[in-house]
């Protein structure tokens, strides 16, 4: 998780960092399930993580609600995880979601894009401080990853600071509460 983005893909920067927009026609039912973290913008929450980032989404008990669990492996091989309640920000049916870090506060968590079959996702915060590239598989083809990075840059994210997440062959970290 801590390895910096390197290789043949040049970082791309958007001209206007205020272009951010959540995707329209978002289908939460298709988003539910297990996701593997492919890359992220470094943030406080991920400082201790070194590999095996996963995110699990489950249906909540209220309409438009969901449960969010993120987990990763630390240097000492222990697991770091968080569990949050989530909800749609409004009833538009777009990718504008919110997570509750603690009562009574909500934080914005937007889905900017997904693959045609919800096989990958680009999610983050509209203030450009957090970003995750997620996949249903532990890896993405290089050309798909390059396309997602271009989309992130078009949304105003500084993709040169993306950190690639190592997914090992070990058993997945975190609770196995959702199949996918």
Confidence of residue 119 (pLDDT cuts 50, 70, 90): very high
The whole-number pLDDT of residue 49 equals 87
* pLDDT reading at 63 higher than 90: no
- Per-residue tokens: 133: 């590239």
Asked if the model's pLDDT at residue 7 lies above 60, the reply is no
Q: What is the pLDDT of residues 22-59, one digit of tens each?
A: 889 899 999 999 999 999 998 776 778 889 999 999 99
Domain boundaries, the chain: 3-164
Tell me the average pLDDT across 147-154.
95
Where helices occur in the chain by DSSP H, the ranges are 28-31, 142-154
Residue 10 corresponds to which tokens in the numbers above?
């040049």
CA–CA dist 15, 69 (Å, integer): 33
DSSP run (H or E) holding 82? strand 79-88
For the stretch 121-137, pLDDT in tens is 999 999 999 999 999 99
- What is the structure's pLDDT at 67? 93
In tens, the pLDDT along 91-118 reads 778 888 888 887 888 989 899 999 999 9
Q: Which CATH number fits domain 3-164: 3.40.50.300, 2.40.128.20, 1.10.3720.10, 3.60.10.10?
A: 2.40.128.20
């Amino acid at each position: 998780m801590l390895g910096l983005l390197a290789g043949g893909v040049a970082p791309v920067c958007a001209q206007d960092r205020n272009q951010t927009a959540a995707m329209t026609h978002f289908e939460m039912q298709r988003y539910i399930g297990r996701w593997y973290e492919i890359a992220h913008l470094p943030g406080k929450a991920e400082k201790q993580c070194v590999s095996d980032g996963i995110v699990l989404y489950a249906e909540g008990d209220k309409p438009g609600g969901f449960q969010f669990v993120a987990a990763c492996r630390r240097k000492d091989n222990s697991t770091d995880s968080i569990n949050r309640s989530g909800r749609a920000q409004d009833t538009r049916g777009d990718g504008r979601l919110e997570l509750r870090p603690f009562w009574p506060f909500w934080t914005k968590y937007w889905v900017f894009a997904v693959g045609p079959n919800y096989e990958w996702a680009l999610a983050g915060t509209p203030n450009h401080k957090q970003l995750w590239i997620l996949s249903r598989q532990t890896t993405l083809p290089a050309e798909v990853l390059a396309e997602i990075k271009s989309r992130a840059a078009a949304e105003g994210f500084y993709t040169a600071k993306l950190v690639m997440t190592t997914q090992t062959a070990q058993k997945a970290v975190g609770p196995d509460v959702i199949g996918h």
